[in-house]
């Protein structure tokens, strides 16, 4: 694997991970706020609501991965294009 390939992969993957983190944070916050309605009913407390949110997040990460990959690739490649790095790669003769 060329150094250029690793650089592009690192740029895109960091953007994908950032998008996944943002989507999971928003989803977790919305789920937690939704569970606050149930706090105080029976033995359901805030710690139970927080543990519910933490147990649901892996499933949500799996659901968000296609969208996050698309948005992350878009953000990563647009960041490379904004700094004219893709043009430099083409001028250097690196194949697409």
- Extended strands (E) in 25-70: none
Its pTM stands at 0.86
What was the pLDDT predicted at 48? 92
What is the residue extent of each domain of the chain? Answer: 3-91
Q: Which of 78, 79, 64 is nearest to 17 (CA)?
A: 64
pLDDT tens digits, residue range 19-55?
999 999 999 999 999 999 888 888 889 999 999 999 9
Exposed/middle/buried for residue 32 (C-beta within 10 Å: 0-12, 13-18, 19+): middle
Per-residue model confidence (pLDDT) at position 89? 87
């Amino acid at each position: 694997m060329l150094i250029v390939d690793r650089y592009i992969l690192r740029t895109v993957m960091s953007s994908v991970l950032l998008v996944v983190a943002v989507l999971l944070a928003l989803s977790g916050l919305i789920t937690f706020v939704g569970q606050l309605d149930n706090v105080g009913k029976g033995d359901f407390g805030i710690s139970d609501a927080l543990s519910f949110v933490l147990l649901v997040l892996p499933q949500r990460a799996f659901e968000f991965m296609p969208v996050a990959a698309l948005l992350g690739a878009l953000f990563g490649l647009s960041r490379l294009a904004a700094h004219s790095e893709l043009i430099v790669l083409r001028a250097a003769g690196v194949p697409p």
